[in-house]
């Protein structure tokens, strides 16, 4: 998340996950992901760039982002440089 200008704590990550999961099904679908990214980065990129970002988070490519997938990517962003 450092590349998004964020360095959240574990508690902040959990709050983000809880806020993003609007329907409470323990996964984040693309519309929920867009809302999360909008809150993180008010100046959104193009729709295609956001879709690509969603694919990065959706490790198993099932169209949903689980809390585990979100946590994994958020805690590892910027560490692979």
Look up the CATH number of the domain holding residue 52: 1.10.238.10
Output the CA–CA distances (angstroms, integers) from residue 34 to 2, 39, 57, 73, 80, in the order listed: 18, 9, 12, 16, 24
pTM of the model: 0.46
Which residue range forms the structural domain that includes residue 41?
A: 2-76
pLDDT digits (tens, 9 = 90+) for 49-70: 778 888 888 999 999 989 888 8
The whole-chain average pLDDT of the chain stands at 78
Q: Tell me the average pLDDT across 5-25.
A: 81
Query: What whole-number distance in Å separates Cα of residue 9 and Cα of residue 3?
Result: 15
The enclosing H or E element of 67 equals helix 67-76
Q: How many domains does the chain have?
A: 1
| Residue 36 belongs to some domain of the structure | yes
Model confidence at 7: pLDDT above 80 = no
């Amino acid at each position: 998340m450092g590349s998004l200008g964020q360095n959240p704590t574990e508690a902040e990550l959990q709050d983000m996950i809880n806020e993003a999961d609007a329907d409470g099904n323990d996964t984040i679908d693309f519309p929920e992901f867009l809302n999360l990214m909008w809150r993180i980065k008010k100046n959104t990129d193009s729709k295609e760039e956001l879709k690509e970002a969603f694919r990065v988070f959706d490790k198993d490519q099932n169209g949903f982002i689980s809390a585990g997938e979100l946590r994994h990517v958020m805690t590892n962003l910027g560490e692979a440089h």
